Amino acid sequence: MQDLQQQLAFIVEMDRLKAVYRQTTVKDDKGRFENSAEHSWHIAVMAHVFAPMIAEPVDIHRACLMLLLHDIVEIDAGDTFAFASAADIASKADKESEAADRLFGLLPDSQASDFRTLWQEYEDAESADARFAKAMDCLLPLIQNMNNEGGSWRRHQVSRSKVVARNKYLEHSAPKLWEYALEQIDIALDKGWLQEG
Amino acid sequence: MQDLQQQLAFIVEMDRLKAVYRQTTVKDDKGRFENSAEHSWHIAVMAHVFAPMIAEPVDIHRACLMLLLHDIVEIDAGDTFAFASAADIASKADKESEAADRLFGLLPDSQASDFRTLWQEYEDAESADARFAKAMDCLLPLIQNMNNEGGSWRRHQVSRSKVVARNKYLEHSAPKLWEYALEQIDIALDKGWLQEG
What does the pLDDT read at residue A185?
Answer: 98
Residues A10-66 pLDDT 10s:
999 999 999 999 999 999 999 999 999 999 999 999 999 999 999 999 999 999 999
Tell whether the model's pLDDT for residue A96 goes beyond 70: yes
Burial degree of B196 (CB within 10 A; 0-12, 13-18, 19+): exposed
What does the pLDDT read at residue A89?
Answer: 84
- Stretch A70-95: mean pLDDT: 90
Q: Which residue of B has its CA nearest to A24?
A: B15
Q: Which residue of A has its CA nearest to B50?
A: A7
Region of residue A151 (phi > 0: left; psi between -120 and 50: alpha; otherwise: beta) = left
Task: Identify the band that residue B1 occupies on the pLDDT scale cut at 50, 70 and 90.
Answer: low
Q: Minimum mean pLDDT among A62-66, A78-82, A192-196: which range?
A: A78-82
What does the pLDDT read at residue A1?
Answer: 64
- Stretch B18-29: mean pLDDT: 96
- Say whether B28 and A7 touch across the interface (CB within 8 A): no
**What average pLDDT does chain A have?**
96
Task: Identify the band that residue A82 occupies on the pLDDT scale cut at 50, 70 and 90.
Answer: confident
What does the pLDDT read at residue B184?
Answer: 98
Give the distance from residue A71's alpha carbon to the nearest chain B alpha carbon, in angstroms: 11
Residues B118-153 pLDDT 10s:
999 999 999 999 999 999 999 999 999 999 999 999
Residues B54-82 pLDDT 10s:
999 999 999 999 999 999 999 999 988 88
- Stretch A166-185: mean pLDDT: 97
B104: amino acid identity, one letter: F
For residue A33, the cross-strand partners are A25
- Stretch A112-122: mean pLDDT: 98
CA-closest candidate to residue B136, choices B165, B92, B178: B178
> Could you give the dihedral angle defined by the CA atoms of residues B100, B101, B106 and B109, in that order, rounded to the nearest 10 degrees?
120
As for the ipTM of the complex, it is: 0.96
> A 112-131 residues with CB below 8 A of B?
none
Give the distance from residue B107's alpha carbon to the nearest chain A alpha carbon, in angstroms: 9
Tell whether the model's pLDDT for residue B103 goes beyond 80: yes
What does the pLDDT read at residue B144?
Answer: 96
> B 35-94 residues with CB below 8 A of A?
35, 37-38, 40-42, 44-46, 48-50, 52-53, 61, 64-65, 68-69
What does the pLDDT read at residue B86?
Answer: 85
CA-closest candidate to residue B44, choices A151, A14, A154, A56: A14
What sign does the CA torsion over A170, A176, A179, A181 have? negative
Task: Identify the band that residue A126 occupies on the pLDDT scale cut at 50, 70 and 90.
Answer: very high
What does the pLDDT read at residue B88?
Answer: 85
Its pTM stands at: 0.97
Calculate the CA B130 to chain-centre distance: 11
- Stretch B88-111: mean pLDDT: 94
Going from the N-terminus, what domains does chain A have, and what CATH number goes with each? Answer: 2-191 (1.10.3210.10)
What does the pLDDT read at residue B91?
Answer: 87
Q: Which of A143, A176, A180 sits opposite B12 (nearest CB)?
A: A143
Helices B128-147, A2-14: axis angle to 10 degrees equals 70
Cβ–Cβ under 8 Å, residues A197 and A155? no
